[in-house]
Amino acid sequence: MKAPTLSSLFGRREVAPPPDIAAAALRSDRFRLERENEWRRLEEIVSRMESGRLRKLSDEDVLALPALYRTAASSLSIARETTLDAATLAYLEGLVQRAWFQVYGPRTSFVGWLRGFLGGEWSASVRAMGPDVLIALAAMIAGTIVGWLLVSSDSQWYHALVPPGMAGDRSPGASPEALRATLFGEQQGTTGLSAFAAYLFSNNAQVSILAFALGFAFGVPSILLLIHNMALLGAMLWLYHDAGLTLDLIAWLSVHGTTELFAILLAGGAGIHIGRAMAFPGNRSIMTAAAESGRRAAQVMTGVVLMLIVAAFLEGFARQLINETPGRLIVGSFMLVLWLTYFYAFGRRTKDSGD
């Protein structure tokens, strides 16, 4: 094949485009020229807002921003269908995206968001899920009772409910002295107190996430998971009760357990909240009900993560430093009262989220 020469290339460039392409190009240029001034004004306003120079904006610019944004968005829609200028299309897409964040995007800093979240938004969302939290609480209590009754009727149920990695030396037949040693740090090694607490925290964190994630199936899996998880606690309570160490176990668990179990309760309530909204959407569509309840539940789950972090600090420091039952009960009771006060007394003036 013969290679093109310079003359042939120039000759090709001089060939006039077909009439339909020339007409389209002319319309594209006219489209850009007619709207270019508005685009530039919008870009100037957005650039000033992005750089923090809000004081330099005139009242006219502030009032014109929404209209200019809508005009640019409309121009982008038209350009996608008609324009042949790829550069103009890319420019409009970037401008509309930047303007959207200034018109509709969040205007609160992280510190401001955190202040509002902890200042009443989180607690209001928890109160809005009151019936669902009560259902989760009933499931947790029922699970504890079921675990106790199963193990008391047949000790072999203990091994079915309590994983080997969590049980260690805590099993039916262990002497009261051995069980007491597991509560007051007298054991050493991987089967000691720290290993058990770490395993328990890991388990509770996983249960919290799953209890929320499984809520989409009308909340049923969340309820079953709560019952199963608390059956483990019921089995442990039976074991230590049989050795006369019930109060000591409760005190040991309460240091970080009141926070962890409260987190599981809220996570389960969040999952049930989504499931209940989907099962009984009322006048809303299922998708709308799920979206509304999902936003509230996601806010609660953000707080659940914070609670698990607090529980980790309590487990890592307070539990290690306090090695007596009265002190542990004081810490655990204080944390329980703190959470109850925060969720059900603090921030009442904040408008609670409705269903």
pLDDT band at 9 (very low <50, low <70, confident <90, very high): very low
Average pLDDT, the chain: 82
Given a cut of 90, whether residue 263 has pLDDT beyond it is yes
Q: Within 13 Å, how many C-alpha atoms sit on residue 275's CB side?
A: 24
Per-residue pLDDT reduced to its tens digit, 55-98: 777 888 888 888 888 888 888 888 887 766 788 888 889 999 88
- As a whole number of angstroms, the distance between CA 220 and CA 45 comes to 52
pLDDT confidence of residue 194? 59
- As a whole number of angstroms, the distance between CA 242 and CA 92 comes to 74
Of 193 and 234, more confident: 234
Of 7 and 111, more confident: 111
Given a cut of 70, whether residue 106 has pLDDT beyond it is no
> What is the DSSP secondary structure assignment for residue 259, as one 8-state letter?
H
Q: Is 312 helix (H, G, I), strand (E, B) or coil?
A: helix
Mean pLDDT computed over 162-176? 80
- As a whole number of angstroms, the distance between CA 200 and CA 197 comes to 5
Given a cut of 60, whether residue 1 has pLDDT beyond it is no
Given a cut of 90, whether residue 327 has pLDDT beyond it is yes
What lies within 8 Å, CB to CB, of 117 at 6+ separation is 299, 302, 303
pLDDT confidence of residue 12? 45
DSSP string, 28-74: HHHHHHHHHHHHHHHHHHHHHHHTT-GGGS-HHHHHHHHHHHHHHHH
- As a whole number of angstroms, the distance between CA 251 and CA 245 comes to 10
Per-residue pLDDT reduced to its tens digit, 174-211: 899 989 988 886 444 434 555 656 666 777 788 888 88
| Residue given tokens 């968005």 in the structure block | 73
pLDDT band at 108 (very low <50, low <70, confident <90, very high): low
pTM of the model: 0.68
From 345, 354, 308, 294, select the one nearest 120 (Cα to Cα): 345
Given a cut of 90, whether residue 143 has pLDDT beyond it is yes
Mean pLDDT computed over 277-284? 88
